[in-house]
Every structure is written in structure tokens, then in C-alpha cells.
């Protein structure tokens, strides 16, 4: 059931209505002897099973998204490389100007990660 796109189902009234009718029909087709049993757990299990069968057969599945890592982005790699270079320079000979460059390079890397995650 985790594969079902429940957001689409909840936003599409026609799809929701269709699903409800199909679950109702599937549950009604079960034998009345099974529904009338004294064991409510059996009836509940049948309802759950009917719901899952209809959902998996008729409802839209979640679209798979490529799980790309933001760190694999060329912009992130470039920003990381620049930060590393500036950091090495700063640690060799710390100056106020290099400190500013270092801070800007860190911000550029953060921005590159944010941009890569948004894609």
C-alpha cells in the first residue's frame, strides 16, 4: 500500500469515489456466511484484504524519482573544490581578505547544495 500515490487519490474526487465503490462491491461479493461470523477479526481481515487488492489493482502508483545525491552535482563539486583551495591558502597565510574569501566560498557551497537538492 506504500506504493500507492495517496496524494493523487485524495485530490481526485472521481478516483476516490471509484475506489470506494470498487471496495464496497468487492466486500459485498464475499459470502454472507463469512460476514455474519461471530469473529469480527475475520470480517475485518477480509475488509483489509479487499481494500488492498482493489487499491493495488486500480489506484495510481507513486512515480519513482531518481535518487540523485546533491553531492554528485557538478556545481557542488566545483564549489567544494574552490572552498578546499581557498581553505588551504587561508591556513597557510591567514589574512582578513582570505577569511572573507573563505566565508564566501562556504556560502557558495551551501548555495550549490541547496540548488542541487531543489532539482
Give domain status of residue 39, yes or no. yes
Say which DSSP state 103 is in. Answer: H
Give domain status of residue 90, yes or no. yes
Per-residue pLDDT of the chain (119 residues; tens, 9 = 90+): 778 888 888 888 898 888 888 888 887 776 665 566 667 787 788 788 888 888 888 888 887 765 668 778 889 999 999 999 999 999 999 999 999 999 999 999 999 988 887 76
Give domain status of residue 33, yes or no. yes
Number of folded domains that form the chain: 2
**Do 50 and 75 fall within a single domain?**
no
**Do 112 and 75 fall within a single domain?**
yes
**CA of residue 73 relative to chain centroid, distance:** 20
Q: How far apart are CA 107 and CA 105, in angstroms?
A: 5
Give domain status of residue 63, yes or no. no
Give domain status of residue 95, yes or no. yes
Residues of the domain holding 108: 70-118
pLDDT tens string 5-34: 888 888 888 988 888 888 888 877 766 655
Say which DSSP state 93 is in. Answer: S
**Do 23 and 49 fall within a single domain?**
yes
pTM of the model: 0.45
**Do 91 and 111 fall within a single domain?**
yes
First to last CA, the chain: 27
Amino acid at each position: 500500500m506504500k506504493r500507492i500515490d495517496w496524494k493523487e487519490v485524495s485530490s481526485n474526487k472521481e478516483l476516490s469515489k471509484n475506489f470506494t465503490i470498487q471496495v464496497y462491491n468487492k466486500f459485498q461479493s464475499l459470502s454472507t456466511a463469512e460476514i455474519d461470523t461471530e469473529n469480527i477479526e475475520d470480517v475485518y481481515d477480509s475488509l483489509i484484504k479487499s481494500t488492498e487488492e482493489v487499491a493495488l489493482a486500480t489506484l495510481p502508483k507513486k512515480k519513482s524519482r531518481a535518487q540523485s545525491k546533491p553531492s554528485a552535482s557538478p556545481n557542488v563539486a566545483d564549489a567544494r573544490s574552490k572552498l578546499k583551495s581557498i581553505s588551504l591558502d587561508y591556513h597557510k597565510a591567514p589574512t582578513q581578505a582570505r577569511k572573507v574569501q573563505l566565508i564566501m566560498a562556504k556560502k557558495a557551497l551551501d548555495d550549490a547544495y541547496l540548488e542541487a537538492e531543489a532539482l
